[in-house]
Amino acid sequence: MKPVIVKIKICTRIWSVRFIPQEMMRDNEWGTCWTLKRAIDIDNTLNEEEAKIILGHELTHAFLASFGKLHNKEFGEEEICDFVTWNADEIVRLRDYVMKERKRLNGCVK
């Protein structure tokens, strides 16, 4: 499967989601969020359901970084609940969009 790159916008900034070969992944991970580069790498050998789960996880890291919450020690239980309440729908929407684009760019969907 060829590498696929999908561009998305999080908090007014453009991020790249790349589906790349497993051997190009860091430390044999299934997904990585590069906050300074605004890029997410996903192992392109994962099946649809696995990729969807890993992508949702990495998008959550991207959202936390975009809103300045990634390494915020004061970000406790209530703040996590608020963050999920305010951002879950958009994370899922972006995840589904990226997965659809992955299929389209791989020639699986017209």
pLDDT at 2 over 90: no
Q: Would you state the structure tokens that stand for residue 71, as one six-digit string?
A: 């390494």
Structure confidence at residue 1 (pLDDT): 59
Helix (H/G/I), strand (E/B), else coil: 5: strand
pLDDT at 110 over 60: no
State pTM to two decimals.
Answer: 0.90
pLDDT at 30 over 80: yes
Average pLDDT over residues 29-40: 96
Helix (H/G/I), strand (E/B), else coil: 97: helix
pLDDT in tens, 48-100: 999 999 999 999 999 999 888 777 677 788 888 999 999 999 999 999 999 99
Structure confidence at residue 20 (pLDDT): 94
Give the residue with greater pLDDT, 109 vs 38. 38
pLDDT in tens, 83-93: 999 999 999 99
Structure confidence at residue 85 (pLDDT): 95
What type of residue is 96? D
Return the exposure string of 41-72: e unless at least 16 CB atoms fall within 10 Å of the residue's CB, then b. Answer: bbbbebeeeebbebbbbbbbbbbbbbeeeeee
